[in-house]
Structure 1
Amino acid sequence: MYSLPLPSAIAIFFTVIALASLAPPSAHALGSGATIAIASDTATVCSIAAELPTRNIRCFRRGESLAFDALPNVSFSVVSGGRSSICGLVEDGRRFFCWDTRINSTRSWRRVYNDTVALSTIAVGDDHVCGIISATGGIKCWRNATTFNLPSDDDRFQSVSSGSSFSCGILANSSQVRCWGSSNQPAATAIEDGFRGFPMTSLVSGSSHACGLNSTGFVICRGISNENGQLGLPSNSAFQYSTLSLGANHTCGIRSVNNTVVCQGSLEPYNPAAESFETVVSGSSFVCGLVTSNLSVLCWGPGWPSSGLVLPLGGPSLPGPCVQSDCSPCGTYLRDQILCFGEGHICKPCDQPIITTSSPPPPSQSPSSRSPSSPSRPLRKGLLAFAIIGSVGAVSGICSVIYCLWVGGCFGQKKVHNSVQPTITRASSDNNGSGGGVGSVPRTSPPSRSSTLRRQASRAMTMRRQRSGTSSSKHPDKAEEFSFAELALATDNFSVENKIGSGSFGVVYRGKLLDGREVAIKRGETKTKKFQEKETAFDSELVFLSRLHHKHLVRLVGYCEEHDERLLVYEYMKNGALHNHLHDHSNVEKASSLLNSWRMRIKVALDASRGIEYLHNYAVPPIIHRDIKSSNILLDSNWTARVSDFGLSLMGGGQLTDGIYGSIRPYKAVGTVGYIDPEYYGLNVLTEKSDVYGLGVVLLELLTGRRAIFKGGDNGDQPTSLVDYAVPAIMAGNVVQVLDPRVGNLELNEAEAVELVAYTAMHCVNLEGKDRPTMADIVANLERALVLCEESHMSISSCGTISIVSE
């Protein structure tokens, strides 16, 4: 095998590293993150404003005379558009908002994501959104992506772009294309297969095709149709294009040499050959570009004036995100300090060399059809670079293994306490079984269900800590392992005075750890006949809470597993359960009770709904709680509501999803009388809509102040269902008739807010799951109700003022 002299190899190695540091060409498409975005169905165009202290989004809809500001007090980094929606990622990456452009009101921007985990970009498809997690490079998807075959948690991406009902990205470690979508979506599979073997530097998606630049600078396009020639963008030299943009049946690119645009496919009648553009984006059937000379937005294509239209956005738009990082080696845009209002820089894409070749590899040619003995010169350089980097990686890997063996940290020789993994001592291979202990099992014994669940949770938490780059024992994601003696001391030996409630598998005690932390400790039932039930609930909560992190879910602090004892330690919720505040007269009769205002009751409902929405829409795989009730909604010291008790929860998956109702499969009905879904109870059919029913009952509790099953009213001392009591009055338009009299009189907008909550609750408790709203719909209604409450005579009403900044 031919080898390079060491000095030459070192020189090439550093050359490769220098080239790798260059910014890849820009790439914007139907659903990629950029500073301009298009919602095709409504011909709506939005861009991020420049030269302003707040980089808000400004939008224009074809046929209207003026543009309008969206969320004027929020600064955004990128926007992305789909069929009928526009989404914007806030500059800190921890939130993004979306707007259904079919709704006229710009107040309809809804927060879709809010977390401490920051995103680097988002990409909107027809009706789904995918984003890249900044810290890890992993993929998260929202909205109608519950049926998607998502990438592995181990995959790391450098870019993402969304098509009609699929998304694609470039893997960070191999530069290969990975696509995902619904199982019946042929475009995702066809595109990924078509790009197999091509290292890519950029990739953009259209409705059913994708294009990008490979490592040698040539355009490659793949898709399931080429009826309009959209897969054949003219190309005869490397790095001929700096930016690509795709629609339904067209592909456009900005020429590197002069920044003019050329398009291929069904895009008539205007060709802006005389204009120079900084970037270009596509809708389904039209294109908009950012003009270099004045940073105005120009749109053309079917439905637009034949000469194109400069949108009246009221000022220049950003050519790229404003960032705080250094823009070397390629520099910044001129006037970027002015464009960013003195806050950050706009990094300029690096100019790629134009390499002329008489016979560039045709984009349609597969890697296997090329002659292995005579690759092109650019390809040889690319392969050499990959070989060198691969060699360095291999050496690093070998060194890591040697180090592990030397320090004894590999193959289980070191005892590592991760977030949920209890110490399990296995029997020695010696015949005398030395080294055994509590929980010891022979090596030949199959693993139990509980230990399997805990190992799965352990691996998930270990991977999460590796991605976050921290292993600190004080990290909030890390669950601690406690001894039984520690927890007995913390609760004064589980005294009756410290008992504060009960959960799905035991009694809950208030405790104080040696370091001063207040906690809630759930101790499993100690009766032998209850052991299996206790074990199952313990495993369930441990697995779920170790992988779920949201402001509206109770956080797991740690656990204890000794002999037959199973205990879980949670953060302490100072203000107890919602049920007690509504139904314990020692609490609710107090005139000063914070829950004796419609503002607080609606906020609590919204908090809890966001927690459940996270379980259904954002957890991967989705989770069905199965026991939503007011006693499982706890209130922390700031009166923020959090969902608790996951002992009965079940995990869903793609194979259980039907696309309309969500996860469906038969289960023995469990839950609490008064809250349990009648469809689930009668037919043993479990869906996400079962949680919706339980939440509907909670909403009725908040409205009426009555228990889910109560005595009194028209039935005398006979038990009455809250659903049977409240729903007829709501249907008849007599909401006021059933409202809790302990809460003050309704102001005008406050009455509208309460009515909206009442009608939402009524739909939640429909007998059939298909007639109930989704959690996303419920959250939207409650957000609107809280806004109405805020607007209701703030100076005198019981609404007062409250922030609805997302959780």
Structure 2
Amino acid sequence: MKRPIFSTVTFSVTVAVIFIVIFFLPILATALGSGSTYAVVYGSDTVCALISGQPTQRVLCYDTRLRTTVTLNPGVSFSSIAAGENYLCGVRSGGYSLLCWENSGSYTFNPKRIYQNDTVLLENLSVGDSQICATVNGTNFLKCWRSDQSTPKNEGFRSISSGVGFSCGVSIRNNRILCWGRDSMKSGRIQTGFGNTTMVSISAGESHACGLNSTGNLICIGNNESGQLNVPSNQPYQYSELSLGSNFTCAKRNSNNSVICWGGGAERFNNVTEQISFESISSGPGLICGLISSNLSVMCWNPSNFSRIFLPFPEILPGPCVESSSLCSCGVYPQSDNLCSGSGSICKSCPIQFRRSNSPPSKAFTGGLLAFAIVGSIGAFAGICSVVYCLWTGACLGKKKVHNSVQPTITRGGSNSRSNSSPPSRSLTIRRQGSRMLSMRRQRSGTSSMKHGDKAEEFSFSELASATGNFSLENKIGSGSFGVVYRGKLNDGREVAIKRGEVNAKMKKFQEKETAFDSEIAFLSRLHHKHLVRLVGYCEEREERLLVYDYMKNGALYDHLHDKNNVEKHSSLINSWKMRIKIALDAARGIEYLHNYAVPPIIHRDIKSSNILLDSNWVARVSDFGLSLMGPELGKDHQHRPMKAAERLNVLTDKSDVYGLGVVLLELLTGKRAIFKNGGDVEEEGCVPVHLVDYSVPAITADELGRILDPRVGSPELGEGDAVELVAYTAMHCVNAEGRNRPTMTDIVGNLERALDLCGDSHGSISSSGICSIVSD
């Protein structure tokens, strides 16, 4: 007789054991203002934490904007802290006193004692934008300050959390959610949303709340404008600790203590945080912080501006220090004696629901467990059948996602032989703009996009031949999508660049030249923007097709980065991080105008460093529209058609331009070509070309950006480091293999603007060249 593949009885026992283990895992919650050993003071992006390894568990704060630290009340020990809007509160060790510090500006925290009582001790601190609450040790009754009269009286709570204008708690009496606060509509809506559901924990955000119910499922109620309620996966006992911000939700996984976030762009960090084990997580409205288990350091990331930072703290306490280990009913945290510097112990977290119960499982529980095991066995058998069928038919075998380092590959039902994994979605997420008003103001100055724009001048062939010395080689300055570019001087003294289509071409080439010529005139004659090369005029005589542009004195970005004659110019103005970021921002603004403000919108289709030109003031302008497409159905294609479907139909969307700009950003960071070889040119025989995306993205993902930066520029100075990192993460998202996962040009412009601001007054300042006025539109 054949041996059975799977034993139903064995599986039932296994499921039962797993269920028991998971069911008793600790279920915690920290939120916008819940008590923890570290907290985000919102309004200033200051992070405060309790420092370990010292006789007193002091509060140390770090301003992520000013990059300064300060100790609050040195020599005083605290057990937990929580933060509101420009203030911080802390419960002193022992729970007999509550202190709060107001941030009065200029990074000055003024202390104020809120509560003092040696016999009625506090625990479970919770702070919102203005309200402060805590529970009383022993009774779990509520005490609140700076709150209205709606605070529940004589009600015990096992978990409390505060958001903006409201607080909520899990009642010990019936395990249901009760909410209160000055915003009665918000608190009432959230309490009604949870209804009669029995809950274990609660965590509040700005205008939403989430909690784990008695069956281990995550429930979120409230505002869902940014998808903060859309839990990506919700299996029983999948999550433990929660942390909520203004428009996002984060949870710690039970399986490996990694963190997953959703809403408000926070999910872009998930493939970073899923690789890290965290002790806990804590949030402000726009900043998420996590305590890393391996070294007890704090990492913070910002979903709105795509940035990440490791705070310069010593080791942080993973929990409060208590007087004796005998108080730890669920065991002692490893090395807690050292962390508390011999002045106490840190207790391991206990399961909230069964913290005070040592009794054996009830009959109801045993019966439910048996039912769970039986149902689980049936489900597992069905699952195994599905897997066998999937493997037998090949239905679940798919092809690897592919990207091309120079431009996304577009096929008609075929495949690309060169494969790699998609660049990861990273922290410090791309900024999403709820409104385009700021961008519209930025673009409105000096722009025009009427359907019938200003007509370009028409020149004779003889005029242009004379201007270029009969198209002499010494006046040749480059080549474009359909011809050679020459420097010229018109009869009125204007310096221009003249692009001449190929002469004596075969019919196919002539048709391509004609198409590119018509395309450039169609686009540039109606577009006027300071970051697009201006079309002066054209010539159309017999088979001659010429275009006349403003002359860009400082040539193409490609030449400054890669031309051998420029490589050794270490003193070049472009060899500063501030100038490179400024050039990237100029180009991004030009492309953003094409995508969002041209009527109809335009897809450039050929964004690369050789098509980004620099004028006499080092203002970058996008050029060469010979391959461009226009039309509302093309410019907005990615909103109506899935990216994969669009690429199968050989239709490019505006996300193709995003990819091209991403490669340009990587060129600016590394100084390397889009395709290069280590130690020489690509054309050298026997050399395998290296794709810049494959070279750069792994280093950025591994936080090893320093090893790929262009050595001609030197190490980033103070402020420049964050700016360069922000550009790198932006570039990484731009070259994502999936177009739908790439940011919009408006997002990119916002990130580059912030990066340029971060550079401040670093060396290589743009103003040193007399062109400061061009930085802002």
Say whether the fold is shared (TM-score over 0.5).
no
Instruction: State which structure, 1 or 2, has the greater radius of gyration over its C-alpha atoms.
Output: 2
TM-score (normalizing by structure 1): 0.39
More RCO (CA 8 Å, sep 6+) = 2
